[in-house]
Structure formats: C-alpha cells, structure tokens
Structure 1
Amino acid sequence: MGTKERKERQKTEMRESILSAALKLFSDKGFENVTMRNIADEIEYSVGTIYLYFQDKDEIFYELHKMGFDEFFKRQLDVQNVKDPLERITEHGLAYIRFAIDHPHYYDLMFISRVPAKIINEQEDWSSGTRTYDLLKLNIAQAKEDGYFKDVEVEVAAFSLWSFVHGISSLFVRDRLKMIPQESIGSLVSGALKFLERAY
C-alpha cells in the first residue's frame, strides 16, 4: 500500500472513530450535554483533530442521522419484494423494530431525541428520512388497491402504522418491554396489523 492510500485509510478510520464515539455519547448523555472536547477525549485525541474532520457537533449529528437512515432504508428495501402488500407492510414493520433493537443508539438519535429536527430542517438536501415514510405510503396505497384499508386515507393509515411500530421500538430501546420476549415481536406486529386492518 502506497503512502497516499495509507493516509486515506487513516483518514477514513479516524472519521469512523469520531462518529462511533459521538454516537454513543449523544445517545448516553444527550446531544446538548456533549461537547467536541468530550468526543475528542473519548477517542484520546486533541479537540483540534476533531475539527479537521467536522466543523461542529451539528455536522457530526447530521452525518450520524443520515448514516442511520441509509441503513434503515436498506432494510426496508430488503423486504420490498414480498408480493402480498399486507404481508409486505408487516415485514416492513418487523424490519423497523429489528433495526431499533440492533441499533438502539442510532434509533435514539433518529426517532427519539428532539435535537435532530432543528438540525435536519436546516439541511435542504436531506431526504434520507422522508423516503422511508414515502415507501410506507406507497405500500399502503398498493394494499388499498387490493382491498385493504378501504375506508381510510393513505396518510391516516401510514401515520397509524408508523406510530404503532415506533411505540414498540421506543419501548424496547428504553428497556420498557421486559415482559415481552423478542421472539414474540413477529406475532405481535402481525396480530396488531390485522386488528388495524379490521378496524378500518
């Protein structure tokens, strides 16, 4: 490996170290309680080093938020080929909850913390979050064409379903669902979805 390639690899590794440390600190302590110096101390580098990669912690937060939603969207696409629209929506719900369980720090930053809204709204090119919700609405529209959710608007059904899986995910992330084993999630989501479909 040449000098140039080695330097690029070192830069990439440093950037990943900064993001990894910031992710944990933001989730554990809260975005507003973390400083650039805290992040530097976590990886045992000078604060000046952090500023070589990110201009401030808002930029770090935005990058983490985008990374989380990119992975989240990938998981949604992985189940998009399920033929039956209602079953597909169920699989999307399960993928949503599994993401929260597998990546609690990311989920906390993406959906629970109140800080991202201000930062994300300032980014005109941000679309990582909206495309996942758009995909849910698309699937609901296709389900309506097949006779499901007949008497409800797409927006209402999307909001209801998202609120449902978000509630379960948030409770898991905050360790408030100890009474429900993880292996029961699938049947819980499927049953609740059928209940919602009948209600509409």
Structure 2
Amino acid sequence: MGISERKEREKLDKKQLIRSAAMKMFLEDGYAKTSIRKIADAIEYSPGTIYLYYKDKDELLYDVQHDAFNQLLEAFKTKAKHKDPVKRLMQIGQTYVSFGLQNPELYDLMFIIRAPTNVDEELHKDNGEPTFDYLVDCLKECIDKDLLRMNDVQLCALQTWSVAHGLVSLDLRCRLKVMSADIDKSKVLNSAIESYVKLLIK
C-alpha cells in the first residue's frame, strides 16, 4: 500500500470512528444534547479534528443517518427476498415494522427528528435512496406482472411507506394505548401490513 492509499485509509477510518461515536451519543443522549465537543471528547480528538471532516453537526447527522439506512437495507436483503414479489412486498413492510420496533432510538434518528438541512447532498452519499429503491423495485415487478390495482410506482411506494411509517410511529409515540391493553402489538402491526398489501392486489 502506497503513502497516498494509506492516508486515504486513515482518513476513512477516522471518519468511521467519528460516525460511530456520534451515532452512539445521538442514540443515548439525543441529537439536541450532543455537541461536536462531546463527540470529540469521547474519542479523544480535538473538536478541530472533527471539523476537518464535517463542517457541522448537521453534516455529521447526515452521514450517521446514511449508516442507519444501510442497516435497514441489509435487513430487507436478509428478510425480504421471496421470489414472489407480492409476498416480498409483505416481507418488506413487516421487516420495516420490526426494524422500527426493535430499534426505536435509531428509527427516531432516521425518521422522526428533522432531516439535516445544511448539507450539500452533492458531496455526500445518497441518503436512504438505495433503501427506498428496494421497495420501488419490488413494486415495479408487481406492476410489470399486473398484480396490483395501482400502476403508478412512485405513488404506490409513497403510500406503502406511509402506512408502515405510520404504524411504527404510532407505536413509538405510545399512541396505540387506545387499543386493548392485552393485544400483541407486533402481531397486530404485521397483520395491518398484510391487510394493506392485500388491498393492493388485484
């Protein structure tokens, strides 16, 4: 490995260390209570070192969210891979719900707090697009095979995502208390996803 390659590797390793520390603190202490100085202290860097890689906390959050979306994408690839696109669509919805319920703080970081607004997205990786495309590709296959009532893939993807997001958000914000106290929430939410997909099928 040459000097330039070694320096690039060291730079990537430092950025990963910064992102890992930031994610841990965002999840444990909350985004608002976490500062660049606190992150720097946790990894024994100076704040100035972090600013060599990220101009502010918004830009750092953007990269942390990118790592989180990759976790969701890997969950899709592992748990939502049925050959039948309709069954795979159900698996995507149920995997999304399961991911949100099992990772409430991470889900909050990804979807509930405001999205970073002070970021030049041209200089960063697509944030969440590959994860969303996994859903879109499944819906395209369903539509190409004439399996769904809808034929607008983007509208269908938005609607499907909204249903799954709504279910997770209601639970994470403790809004399902209006339902019977003895219900199995996970089972009910998965059944809701299944019922929704069945409404889409011709």
Q: TM-score, normalised by structure 1?
A: 0.75
Matches within 5 A, 1:79-118: 79-116=79-116, 118=117
SS of 1:52's equivalent in the other structure is: helix
Q: What is the CA–CA distance in structure 1 between the aligned matches of 2:113 and 2:87, rounded to whole Å?
A: 30
TM-aligned CA deviation for residue 18 of structure 1: 4.1
Identity level (%): 28
Aligned CA RMSD, in angstroms, stands at 2.9
Point out where structure 2 has 5 or more consecutive residues left out of the alignment.
Answer: 1-9
Give the corresponding residue for 2:68: 68
Q: Is the 8 A contact 1:25 1:39 kept in 2?
A: no
Task: Find 1:197's aligned residue among 191, 194, 201.
Answer: 201
Checking the alignment, whether the CA contact within 8 Å between 2:21 and 2:39 is kept in structure 1 is no
2:27 equivalent in structure 1: 23
Check the 8 A contact 1:19/1:60 in 2, yes or no.
no
The residue identity in structure 2 corresponding to 1:103 is N
**Structure-2 change in CA distance of 1:177 and 1:24 (3 Å):** same
Question: Aligned partner of 2:79: which letter?
Answer: V
| Gap regions ≥5 residues in structure 1 | 1-7
Q: Shift of residue 14 of structure 1? A: 6.2
C-alpha deviation, 1:186, in angstroms:
2.0
2-structure distance, mates of 1:23, 1:64: 11
Summarize the Cα distance change of 1:67–1:13 in structure 2 as closer, same or farther, 3 Å threshold: closer
- Compared CA separation, residues 60 and 23, structure 1 to 2 (3 A): farther
TM-score (norm 2): 0.74
Per-residue Cα deviation, 1:153-185 (whole angstroms, up to 9, x for no partner): 111111111110011111222222243522322
The residue number in structure 2 matching 1:123 is: 121
Shift of 1:12: 9.2
Task: Give the match for residue 148 of structure 2.
Answer: 149
Give the deviation of 1:143 after TM superposition. Answer: 0.8
